[in-house]
């Protein structure tokens, strides 16, 4: 509900139609666990049925990823002449989110032993971000 409220507040559709993933941002636990784009895409489709497009880095440019779901995958490739870090179109959203989330002390480092416990801490951290954004800009 907070995501929908924030999107509507800035004049966007309530449900997002696109998502952004970055191979270095998708984490698993040190103890192991599910990883990779295919499980991520399959697991997210039922909870995010309006997502039609995923913007991803070149690590996701495989046939296995492209055929894993009905969601279209758009690969953002870096410029061949690029030296060092450069923010790529739309992928900056991932970097901004993780920079904001990592201000939450519990999520500053990977303490969690399971994906379920990491997810449990990610939801309240995300809710705090959205509440601050809505309160600040209202």
- Rounded to the nearest 10°, the torsion over CA 32, 28, 24, 46 is 130
In the predicted structure, residue 27 carries a pLDDT above the cut 70: no
Interhelix angle 92-101/115-137, rounded to 10 degrees, is: 100
For the question of whether the overall pTM of this predicted structure is more than 0.85, the answer is no
DSSP state of 138: -
- Of the chain, the percentage scoring pLDDT greater than 90 comes to 1
Lowest-pLDDT choice from 24-38, 41-55, 57-71: 24-38
Task: Name the residue among 76, 21, 87, 23 with its Cα closest to residue 54.
Answer: 21
> Which tokens is 48 given?
């995010």
What are the structure tokens assigned to 2, written together?
A: 């907070």
Confidence of residue 44 (pLDDT cuts 50, 70, 90): confident
Give residue for tokens 């809505």: 134
For residue range 71-122, list pLDDT tens digits in order. 888 888 888 888 887 777 777 777 777 777 766 655 655 555 666 777 777 7
What pLDDT is stored for residue 110 in this prediction?
Answer: 56
CA dist 136 and 138 (Å) reads 6
Contact (CB, 8 A) for 27 and 21: no
How much is the pLDDT for 83? 84
**Residue pair 48/19 in contact by the 8 Å Cβ criterion:** yes
């Amino acid at each position: 509900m907070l995501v929908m409220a924030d999107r509507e507040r800035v004049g966007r559709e309530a449900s997002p139609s696109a998502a952004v993933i970055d191979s270095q941002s998708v984490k698993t636990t040190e103890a192991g666990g599910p990883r990779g784009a295919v499980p991520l895409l399959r697991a997210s489709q039922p909870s995010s049925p309006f997502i039609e497009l995923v913007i991803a880095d070149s690590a996701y440019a495989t046939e296995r990823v492209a055929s894993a779901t009905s969601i279209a995958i758009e690969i953002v490739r870096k410029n061949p002449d690029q030296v060092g870090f450069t923010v790529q179109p739309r992928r900056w959203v991932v970097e901004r989110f993780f920079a904001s989330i990592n201000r939450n002390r519990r999520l500053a480092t990977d303490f969690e032993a399971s994906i379920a416990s990491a997810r449990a801490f990610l939801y309240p951290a995300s809710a705090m971000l959205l509440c601050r954004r809505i309160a600040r800009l209202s």
